[in-house]
Amino acid sequence: MSDAALDVVEFLLTASLYNDNRELDENDLPPRYRQVFWPDGTTESTDRDRPGSDDSPLGIERPIRPTIETTRRATGVENPWSAISELMFSDRDEFSGSLELTQRDMAEEWFLDRGEERVLHNPVLAYAFAEEVDGVDYEAARDANRPVQADRAWIDGLLSQYFADEDEEEMLDLVDIRAPEEIETTLDDLVLTEDQEAEIHKIVKAIEHREYLAQIGLREIGKLLFVGPPGTGKTSTARALAYDLDLPFVEVKLSMITSQYLGETAKNVEKVFEVAKRLSPCILFMDEFDFVAKTRASDEHAAIKRAVNTLLKSIDNISLIQDDVLLIGATNHPDQLDAAAWRRFDEIVNFPKPDAGMRSDILRLITRPMDIVDFDPDELADETEGLTGSDLRMVLREAVLDALTEERTALTQEDFVDAIKDFEERDNLKDLDMIEGDHDALVAGGDISGSGDASADGGHSHDH
C-alpha cells in the first residue's frame, strides 16, 4: 500500500479519535491537520475545551469533518479518495465530499500494521494507542507538537477580535507579527560566536524553567539587548530563536512611533505590549533601540517624549517569568544609549563583525546547496576582512548573477574573487564626498568618472 494511503488514513483516524476524546484539545492535533479546521479568524468558538485563557479568541469546533479538500490540504495527497478507495473500511459521501472510516477498528488494525512509528509523533494517536504501541509517550508527543498559539490562524483570530474597533486597526501598522512557520531562518542556519550561543542557551533554559524561577522569586530575566554593526545577524538571530522555540514573533521599529497617522503615540506604545501579552508566549523584538536615547536627548515634540517614557515604563512592567514575553532590543549604535536604556536589560549580547574563521563558516553555510569548483572558503575569508554576514550574502548574490549572465549555474572560486572586488568597489561609493553642483551626477545618464551603480548601497547594511 502506498504512503499516500497511509497519510490519508492517519488523517481520518486522527479526526475520528479527536472527536471521540473530549480530553484532547487543539494542542493534540498536528499543526498540518489543525490548520485546515480553524475558523476564518472572526468566529468566536463555542468549544471551551481549548487550551489557554477563558477569553481565547477562537477554537476548532467538534466534530471535525474531513472532506476531500481538507484531506488534500492536510496531507498533500492530491487525490485522497483514489488513495483509499480500495480499502474495505473507507467511504465517501458524493454530495458533501466528506470522507469517513466505516469500520474504525479495522482501520486502526490496518494502520498500526503499517504506520506504527507515526504514532510516536501524533499526540492524538499517542493518546489512543499508548498501551498498544511500545515506546509511545503521549506527553512527549504533545510537548513536541507546535502549540496553537504559534498558528497563523490563531494569531489572526486574536488580532481581529482584539482590534475589532476600526480606530485601533492603525495600531497594527506599528508591528510586524510573524508565526513561527513564516520565519525562514533557524539557528542552524546561522554562525554564532561562543558568547552568543551561551546567552541563547541560558535564555532557552530560563523559558523551560519559568515556573521554578517564579517560585524562587527570580523574575529579572528575559530582557536581552543585541548590540552590533548592521548586517551582523541581530534580527536574524531573534527571528531564528522564535522559529526554534515555536513562538510568535512581534517586531517593532521604534522610529515608527513618530508617524503622524498613528495618533496617540503613547497609547499605541502601550498597545504593543498588550499585543505581546495577548500573544504570549512570544518574542517581542524592538529594533532601532537607540531611538529611545536620541529622543530623550533631543527637542522632539512632547508627545513623542511621552511615548518614549511610556515605552521605558512598559519594559519595566513586562516579564518573561510573569507574562511569558521574551523581550529583545537591538541597536547599531550602543554609544547613543543612555543609562536609562541600558539598565532595562539584564543581558547584553554582542554581535561583532565576524572574524576570519566565522567568515569561512558563513561561506560554507550559505553555499551548501551550490556546485562550486575548487571552492576554498578559507582563502575567501582572508580576502573579506571587515565584511559582515549580510555582506557575504551580497557577494554570493553577485557571483551567482554574474555566472548566470554566462549561462552557468556551476560557480568557480574565481567567480567569488571577482564578486569580492566588485562588492568593494560598490561599497566605496558610500564614502564619496559629493561636491556642490554634482548631486545630479548619480542620476542615470550622468557622467561621473568611475561612479558605478547609483544604488550600490542597496541594502547590504541592513540585518537579514
**Digit-coded pLDDT (tens) for 128-150:** 999 999 999 999 999 999 888 88
What's the pLDDT score for residue 454? 35
Residue 301: pLDDT band (50, 70, 90) is low
Q: How far is residue 131's CA from residue 119's CA, in Å, rounded to a whole number?
A: 12
Q: How far is residue 144's CA from residue 171's CA, in Å, rounded to a whole number?
A: 33
What's the pLDDT score for residue 451? 38
Could you tell me the pTM of the whole model? Answer: 0.78
What's the pLDDT score for residue 290? 81
Residue 298: pLDDT band (50, 70, 90) is low
Residue 73 CB burial class (10 angstroms; 0-12, 13-18, ≥19)? middle
108-112 long-range contacts, CB within 8 A, separation 24+: 108/13, 110/9, 111/6, 111/9, 111/10, 111/13
Q: Are 452 and 426 in contact (CB under 8 A)?
A: yes
What's the pLDDT score for residue 58? 60
Q: What average pLDDT does the segment 376-403 reach?
A: 95
Q: What average pLDDT does the segment 257-275 reach?
A: 69
C-alpha 414: how far from its chain's center? 35
What's the pLDDT score for residue 441? 42
What's the pLDDT score for residue 456? 36
Q: Are 281 and 149 in contact (CB under 8 A)?
A: yes
Q: What average pLDDT does the segment 144-158 reach?
A: 88
Lowest mean pLDDT among 59-68, 145-154, 267-276, 387-396: 267-276
Most confident option among 142-156, 280-294, 344-358, 446-460: 344-358
What's the pLDDT score for residue 336? 84
**Residue 442: pLDDT above 80?**
no
Query: Measuring CA to CA, how many Å separate 381 from each of 146, 364, 375?
Result: 38, 10, 12
Residue 295: pLDDT band (50, 70, 90) is low
The pairing of strands 90-92 and 223-227 is: unpaired
What's the pLDDT score for residue 296? 63
Q: What is the mean pLDDT of the chain?
A: 84
**Residue 217: pLDDT above 50?**
yes
User: Of 430, 402, 426, whose CA–CA distance to 414 is shortest?
Assistant: 402
Buried b (16+ CB within 10 A) or exposed e, 243-264: bbbbbbbbbbebebbeeeebee
List Cβ neighbours of 343 (8 Å cut-off, separation of 6 or more).
none
Q: What average pLDDT does the segment 190-198 reach?
A: 95
**93-131 pLDDT tens trace:** 988 899 999 999 999 999 999 999 999 999 999 999 999
Cell 482584539 belongs to which residue?
162
Q: Are 251 and 176 in contact (CB under 8 A)?
A: yes
What percent of the chain lies above the pLDDT cut of 70? 81
What's the pLDDT score for residue 171? 65
**Residue 307: pLDDT above 80?**
no
What percent of the chain lies above the pLDDT cut of 90? 59
The full set of domains in the chain, from first to last, is 3-146 (no CATH), 163-350 (3.40.50.300), 356-442 (1.10.8.60)
**359-387 pLDDT tens trace:** 999 999 999 999 899 999 999 999 999 99
